[in-house]
Amino acid sequence: MPNALITGGAGFIGSHLCGFLMEKGFNVICMDNLVTGQKENIQSLICSGKFKFINHDASRPIEIEEPLDWVLHFASPASPIDYQKIPIQTLKAGSLGTHNTLGLALAKKAKYFLASTSEVYGDPLVNPQPESYWGNVNCIGVRGCYDESKRFAEALTMAYHRIHNLDIRIVRIFNSYGPKMRKKDGRAVPNFITQTLEGKNITVYGNGSQTRSFCYISDLIEGIYRLLTSNATEPVNLGSQEEVSILDFAREIVELTGSKSRIVFNPLPIDDPKVRQPDITRAKKLLSWEPRVKRRDGIIKTLEYFRKKVAETAKEEKCSFVRVRPQTIENEQNFRLFSKLGFVRAPMHLHAELTHQLDLNKSEDENRSRNKAGYEVRD
C-alpha cells in the first residue's frame, strides 16, 4: 500500500483528503500543528491502522521514519481572518513549509503535491481565470501574506521540478465548502449559515455585487485525487463555474434555512476580490473532471452539519460549569442531591478516589467524603 504524508491533514480539506486516500488503500500520516486544524476532524480516523497523527509545524524541520510515496503539502491558514491574524506563520507555511516538504520528498524519492489557491490571481482583472493568467496581487496588502506565500510555494515547487527532476502536482483550489468547516472560519459559507441558524443578521461586505464560485468538498477531493494520479506537472484549477454574487448567495442561505435574519452591509475589506471564477478547461481536458454537486444541493448537506454544530454549542453553553467551594457540597446530603441530579463533576483523577470514599447507596453516617478538592457544579 502506498504511504502518504499530508501536512495540514486536520484542516477542512486535509481531513477529507486523509479519509479519501485511506479508502483508496493509502497509509496516511497526518501532520498538523492544530493552529487552524481541528482534532475532531480526524477523530474517526485515529483508530485505523492506516492512520497516524503527528502534531508538528511543517515550517520546522521534518523527520519521518517511514518510507513515503507521496508528500502532500496542505498546511497553511486559508481564511482571511486567520492569515491576517498570523501573517508571519502564514508566510512561513508557504516558504519554509514548502521547502521542508519538498526536501523530504526528494530525500524519500517520493512524489510531491502542492495545495495552492485561487488567491494567486489576487483581485483578478480577467474572468474566469485560466492558469495562464499571472494575477493582480498587492504584495504588501493585508492579503499579501497568503497570496504571496502561495505564489512563492508554486515557484519553489517548479524549481525543484526543473532542477531536481522532482515529480510534482500543483492544484489551485477555488472557494470550497462542506462539512468540517469551522463555525467561525470567517468565509462566506460558514459565516452565513451560522448567522442564520443562530438568528443573527447576515453580514455582507460591500454592496454584495462581488462574485464567488463555490465547489462542494466531495467534488474537490475527487479532482485532487484525479490530479494526484495523473501526469500533469502544470498548475490545475479546481473549482465550480457556477458563479453567484455574494448578495444573492446570502439570500439563498436565508431561504434554505427558513431564517428571518436580515442582511446587513459592512465596508468591503481592502483588496477583496471583486470576481472569482475558475476556467477549468485544463481540468476537463487532463483529468476529465468537473463538479457534479449543484450549489443548492451542497448547501443543504452542509446545513445538516452546521445545525448539529450549532446545537452542540447551545447545549454546551446551557450546561456551563461554575466552581464552588468544597465545603458547599462536602455535606453528604448536598453531595447526594447534586450527584443524583447529575450536577456534580469532579476532576477525572479523583473519580476512583470518590468511588472508594462515597457510596451513594449507604447512609450519611456510614459514608463520609474526605475529599478537599474543588468540584464543578452545573449552573
Catalytic residues, by residue number, are: 146
For 95, 182, 211, 351, the CA distances from 263, given in Å and listed in that order, are 39, 21, 17, 49
Q: At what angle do helices 12-23 and 217-228 cross, to 10 degrees?
A: 60
d(CA 120, CA 118): 5
CB atoms within 10 A of CB 336: 16
Angle at the Cα of 190 from the Cα atoms of 24 and 281, rounded to 5 degrees? 55
Distance of alpha carbon 141 from the chain centroid: 24
Query: Is the Cα dihedral 329, 332, 337, 339 positive or negative?
Result: positive
d(CA 120, CA 40): 30
For 18, 188, 214, 248, the CA distances from 208, given in Å and listed in that order, are 35, 11, 15, 8
Q: Which residues pair with 5 in a beta bridge?
A: 29, 71
What does the block give as the cell for 322? 461554575
What type of residue sits at position 296?
R
Angle at the Cα of 203 from the Cα atoms of 200 and 206, rounded to 5 degrees? 165
For 102, 349, 354, the CA distances from 372, given in Å and listed in that order, are 55, 13, 11
For 139, 225, 226, 283, 285, the CA distances from 288, given in Å and listed in that order, are 34, 12, 8, 6, 6
Helix (H, G, I), strand (E, B) or coil at 318: helix
